[in-house]
Amino acid sequence: MSDKQTLLEQIRADIIANDTCPDLAKTATNLVMGDGNVDADIVFIGEAPGKNEDEQGLPFIGAAGKFLDSMLEGAGITRSEVYITNIVKYRPPNNRDPLPEEKQTFWPYLVRQLDVIAPKIVVTLGRHSMEYFLPGQKISLIHGQPKRIRFGQSRIVVVPLYHPAAALYNGSMRTVLNEDFIKLPKIIKILEKEEEKK
Protein backbone atom coordinates (compact mmCIF):
# COMPACT_ATOMS: atom_id res chain seq x y z
CA MET A 1 0.00 0.00 0.00
CA SER A 2 1.34 3.49 -0.85
CA ASP A 3 1.94 5.96 1.96
CA LYS A 4 -1.02 7.97 0.73
CA GLN A 5 -3.31 4.94 0.82
CA THR A 6 -2.20 4.17 4.36
CA LEU A 7 -2.94 7.74 5.44
CA LEU A 8 -6.37 7.64 3.75
CA GLU A 9 -7.13 4.33 5.49
CA GLN A 10 -6.25 6.02 8.78
CA ILE A 11 -8.84 8.75 8.09
CA ARG A 12 -11.48 6.07 7.52
CA ALA A 13 -10.48 4.34 10.74
CA ASP A 14 -10.69 7.65 12.64
CA ILE A 15 -14.19 8.38 11.33
CA ILE A 16 -15.32 5.02 12.69
CA ALA A 17 -13.33 5.21 15.95
CA ASN A 18 -14.69 8.73 16.67
CA ASP A 19 -18.29 7.56 16.18
CA THR A 20 -18.77 10.33 13.61
CA CYS A 21 -22.40 11.25 12.84
CA PRO A 22 -23.82 8.22 14.71
CA ASP A 23 -27.37 8.83 13.46
CA LEU A 24 -26.29 8.65 9.84
CA ALA A 25 -23.97 5.73 10.57
CA LYS A 26 -26.92 3.82 12.02
CA THR A 27 -29.04 4.05 8.86
CA ALA A 28 -26.20 3.78 6.32
CA THR A 29 -24.91 0.51 4.88
CA ASN A 30 -21.41 1.73 4.09
CA LEU A 31 -19.04 4.55 4.88
CA VAL A 32 -18.26 6.03 1.46
CA MET A 33 -14.79 7.51 1.77
CA GLY A 34 -13.92 8.18 -1.85
CA ASP A 35 -12.42 6.45 -4.81
CA GLY A 36 -9.81 6.98 -7.46
CA ASN A 37 -6.20 7.93 -7.97
CA VAL A 38 -4.50 9.05 -4.76
CA ASP A 39 -1.99 11.02 -6.89
CA ALA A 40 -4.74 12.79 -8.84
CA ASP A 41 -4.40 16.33 -10.20
CA ILE A 42 -8.15 16.79 -9.68
CA VAL A 43 -10.28 15.91 -6.66
CA PHE A 44 -14.07 16.16 -7.15
CA ILE A 45 -16.19 16.77 -4.06
CA GLY A 46 -19.90 15.98 -4.13
CA GLU A 47 -22.55 16.22 -1.48
CA ALA A 48 -23.27 12.83 0.10
CA PRO A 49 -23.72 9.23 -1.06
CA GLY A 50 -27.09 8.21 -2.54
CA LYS A 51 -28.72 4.78 -2.50
CA ASN A 52 -26.38 3.05 -4.98
CA GLU A 53 -23.29 4.62 -3.43
CA ASP A 54 -24.40 3.54 0.05
CA GLU A 55 -25.00 -0.02 -1.13
CA GLN A 56 -21.64 -0.38 -2.86
CA GLY A 57 -19.48 1.92 -0.73
CA LEU A 58 -18.32 3.93 -3.75
CA PRO A 59 -19.07 7.56 -4.69
CA PHE A 60 -20.96 8.65 -7.81
CA ILE A 61 -21.96 5.30 -9.30
CA GLY A 62 -25.70 5.97 -9.82
CA ALA A 63 -27.34 8.17 -12.47
CA ALA A 64 -25.40 11.30 -11.44
CA GLY A 65 -22.19 9.25 -11.49
CA LYS A 66 -22.87 8.00 -15.03
CA PHE A 67 -23.41 11.59 -16.11
CA LEU A 68 -20.20 12.61 -14.34
CA ASP A 69 -18.36 9.85 -16.26
CA SER A 70 -19.70 11.14 -19.58
CA MET A 71 -18.63 14.70 -18.78
CA LEU A 72 -15.16 13.50 -17.79
CA GLU A 73 -14.94 11.66 -21.08
CA GLY A 74 -16.04 14.80 -22.95
CA ALA A 75 -13.19 16.67 -21.27
CA GLY A 76 -10.68 13.94 -22.19
CA ILE A 77 -10.27 12.86 -18.56
CA THR A 78 -10.57 9.24 -17.43
CA ARG A 79 -12.20 8.45 -14.14
CA SER A 80 -9.15 6.42 -13.09
CA GLU A 81 -6.94 9.54 -13.14
CA VAL A 82 -9.10 11.59 -10.73
CA TYR A 83 -10.20 11.16 -7.12
CA ILE A 84 -13.87 11.50 -6.18
CA THR A 85 -15.32 11.98 -2.72
CA ASN A 86 -18.17 13.74 -0.88
CA ILE A 87 -18.34 16.24 1.94
CA VAL A 88 -20.64 13.93 3.97
CA LYS A 89 -19.58 10.29 3.91
CA TYR A 90 -22.72 8.48 5.05
CA ARG A 91 -25.97 8.50 3.08
CA PRO A 92 -28.59 10.84 4.61
CA PRO A 93 -31.89 8.95 4.97
CA ASN A 94 -34.17 9.22 1.92
CA ASN A 95 -31.50 11.29 0.16
CA ARG A 96 -32.38 14.42 2.12
CA ASP A 97 -29.89 17.30 1.95
CA PRO A 98 -27.00 16.92 4.40
CA LEU A 99 -27.55 19.04 7.53
CA PRO A 100 -25.13 21.89 8.33
CA GLU A 101 -23.90 20.02 11.43
CA GLU A 102 -23.27 16.87 9.39
CA LYS A 103 -21.15 18.83 6.91
CA GLN A 104 -19.33 20.53 9.78
CA THR A 105 -18.60 17.18 11.44
CA PHE A 106 -17.14 15.66 8.29
CA TRP A 107 -15.22 18.77 7.17
CA PRO A 108 -11.98 18.03 9.12
CA TYR A 109 -11.79 14.58 7.53
CA LEU A 110 -12.20 16.10 4.06
CA VAL A 111 -9.41 18.57 4.86
CA ARG A 112 -7.18 15.64 5.82
CA GLN A 113 -8.04 13.78 2.60
CA LEU A 114 -7.07 16.83 0.55
CA ASP A 115 -3.84 17.26 2.52
CA VAL A 116 -2.90 13.66 1.69
CA ILE A 117 -3.83 13.72 -2.00
CA ALA A 118 -2.60 17.32 -2.59
CA PRO A 119 -4.32 17.77 -5.96
CA LYS A 120 -3.67 20.66 -8.36
CA ILE A 121 -7.35 21.63 -8.28
CA VAL A 122 -10.36 20.89 -6.10
CA VAL A 123 -13.65 20.77 -8.01
CA THR A 124 -16.72 21.26 -5.88
CA LEU A 125 -19.93 19.75 -7.28
CA GLY A 126 -22.95 21.75 -6.14
CA ARG A 127 -23.42 24.33 -3.45
CA HIS A 128 -23.07 21.98 -0.44
CA SER A 129 -19.36 21.53 -0.98
CA MET A 130 -18.82 24.94 -2.63
CA GLU A 131 -20.04 26.89 0.40
CA TYR A 132 -17.29 25.40 2.57
CA PHE A 133 -14.49 26.50 0.25
CA LEU A 134 -16.08 29.69 -1.07
CA PRO A 135 -18.50 30.92 1.62
CA GLY A 136 -21.06 33.51 0.61
CA GLN A 137 -20.54 32.99 -3.13
CA LYS A 138 -23.29 32.29 -5.67
CA ILE A 139 -22.69 29.28 -7.88
CA SER A 140 -24.65 30.85 -10.75
CA LEU A 141 -22.11 33.70 -10.84
CA ILE A 142 -18.84 31.83 -10.39
CA HIS A 143 -19.28 28.31 -11.82
CA GLY A 144 -16.35 27.20 -13.94
CA GLN A 145 -14.03 29.92 -12.63
CA PRO A 146 -10.85 28.87 -10.81
CA LYS A 147 -10.53 30.57 -7.42
CA ARG A 148 -7.30 30.60 -5.44
CA ILE A 149 -8.04 30.41 -1.72
CA ARG A 150 -6.15 30.05 1.53
CA PHE A 151 -6.59 26.52 2.89
CA GLY A 152 -4.94 25.74 6.21
CA GLN A 153 -1.24 26.51 5.82
CA SER A 154 -1.33 26.47 2.02
CA ARG A 155 -3.22 27.93 -0.92
CA ILE A 156 -5.35 25.83 -3.24
CA VAL A 157 -7.30 26.34 -6.46
CA VAL A 158 -11.01 25.57 -6.28
CA VAL A 159 -13.27 25.31 -9.33
CA PRO A 160 -16.96 25.39 -8.38
CA LEU A 161 -19.26 23.46 -10.73
CA TYR A 162 -22.96 22.67 -10.71
CA HIS A 163 -23.91 19.29 -9.28
CA PRO A 164 -24.41 16.63 -11.99
CA ALA A 165 -27.71 15.55 -10.40
CA ALA A 166 -29.08 19.10 -10.74
CA ALA A 167 -28.08 19.23 -14.40
CA LEU A 168 -29.21 15.71 -15.28
CA TYR A 169 -32.72 16.70 -16.33
CA ASN A 170 -32.09 20.37 -17.09
CA GLY A 171 -30.92 20.86 -20.66
CA SER A 172 -29.40 24.33 -20.32
CA MET A 173 -27.60 23.48 -17.07
CA ARG A 174 -26.29 20.32 -18.72
CA THR A 175 -24.76 22.39 -21.51
CA VAL A 176 -23.16 24.77 -19.00
CA LEU A 177 -21.78 21.88 -16.95
CA ASN A 178 -20.35 20.16 -20.04
CA GLU A 179 -18.68 23.42 -21.05
CA ASP A 180 -17.26 23.90 -17.56
CA PHE A 181 -15.83 20.37 -17.53
CA ILE A 182 -13.98 21.03 -20.76
CA LYS A 183 -12.23 23.96 -19.02
CA LEU A 184 -10.65 21.71 -16.36
CA PRO A 185 -7.66 20.38 -18.36
CA LYS A 186 -7.02 23.94 -19.57
CA ILE A 187 -7.01 25.26 -16.00
CA ILE A 188 -4.49 22.58 -15.01
CA LYS A 189 -2.24 23.48 -17.96
CA ILE A 190 -2.28 27.16 -16.93
CA LEU A 191 -1.39 26.24 -13.34
CA GLU A 192 1.46 24.00 -14.54
CA LYS A 193 2.83 26.86 -16.66
CA GLU A 194 2.66 29.18 -13.63
CA GLU A 195 4.56 26.59 -11.56
CA GLU A 196 7.27 26.30 -14.23
CA LYS A 197 7.80 30.08 -14.14
CA LYS A 198 8.40 30.08 -10.39
Q: Which residues bind ligand URA (CB under 6 A)?
A: 46-50, 53, 59-60, 64, 86, 165
Integer Cα distance of 135 and 153 in angstroms: 18
Work out how close the CB of 196 gets to ligand URA at its nearest, in angstroms, rounded to a whole number: 34
Sort 26 into a burial class: Cβ within 10 Å, 0-12 / 13-18 / 19+. exposed
Tell me if 176 sits within 8 A of 182, measured CB to CB. no
- Taking the complex as a whole, the smallest distance from the CB of residue 29 to ligand URA amounts, in Å, to 13
CA distance 143 to 132: 15
Please say which residue, 87 or 187, places its beta carbon nearer to ligand URA.
Answer: 87
- Specify the residue, 6 or 104, whose C-beta has the smaller distance to ligand URA: 104
Nearer to ligand URA, 50 or 160 (CB): 50
**Which residue lies nearest ligand URA, judged by its C-beta?**
46
Nearer residue to ligand URA within complex by CB, 43 or 64: 64
Smallest distance, ligand URA to C-beta of residue 161, A: 12
Nearer to ligand URA, 86 or 113 (CB): 86
Beta strands in the chain (DSSP E): 35-36, 42-46, 83-86, 121-125, 147-151, 154-161
Is the Cβ–Cβ distance between 37 and 21 less than 8 Å? no
| Residue with smaller CB distance to ligand URA, 93 or 190 | 93
CB of 53 to ligand URA, least distance (A): 4
Residue 74 beta carbon to ligand URA: minimum distance, rounded to whole angstroms: 19
* Closest approach of ligand URA to the CB of residue 48, in Å: 6
Closest CA to 47 of 114, 121, 119, 130: 130
Q: How many H-runs (helices) and E-runs (strands) does the chain carry?
A: 9, 6
92: left (phi over 0), alpha (psi -120 to 50) or beta: beta
